[in-house]
Amino acid sequence: VLKHVVLFRFKAGTSPETLRRIEAAFCQLPQQIEQIRAFEWGTDVSVENKSQGFTHCFVLTFQAEQDRDAYLPHPAHEAFRAVMRPHLDQALVIDYFAHPVNGK
């Protein structure tokens, strides 16, 4: 499967209420976009001081690259971007085909 990892760093001063609204909006997408096979997210609790200001991680699972390609320009995704973009400092996106490691 193809994992789509999205990290967000928000502008300084973004209110908790705005963050909750953005999180909720992103979490609506699995109901709106059939190509999303799995979706999970959380906020940073790392202790190594290597998060570079990124506070939110969302991981979407697609069955194939074509599904990711359908997701990216999907109207529901665009609507979410419009909610988030005014508050975003930086997004980092990396996609990978998941290689599990045997034995675990």
**Residues comprising the chain, all counted:** 104
Residue 20 backbone dihedrals phi, psi, to 5 degrees: -60, -40
Tokens of 74: 């999907």
Q: Is residue 7 part of the contact set for a copy of itself (CB under 8 A)?
A: yes
Q: Is residue 83 part of the contact set for a copy of itself (CB under 8 A)?
A: no
72: DSSP letter: T
> Contacting a copy of itself (CB under 8 A), which of 66, 81, 89, 95?
95
Q: Can you tell me the distance from the alpha carbon of 36 to that of 79, in angstroms, rounded to the nearest whole number?
A: 16
> Contacting a copy of itself (CB under 8 A), which of 25, 51, 77, 88?
51
Q: Which residues bind a copy of itself (CB under 8 A)?
A: 2-5, 7, 27, 30-31, 36-48, 50-52, 54, 57, 59, 65, 68-69, 72, 91-101, 103-104
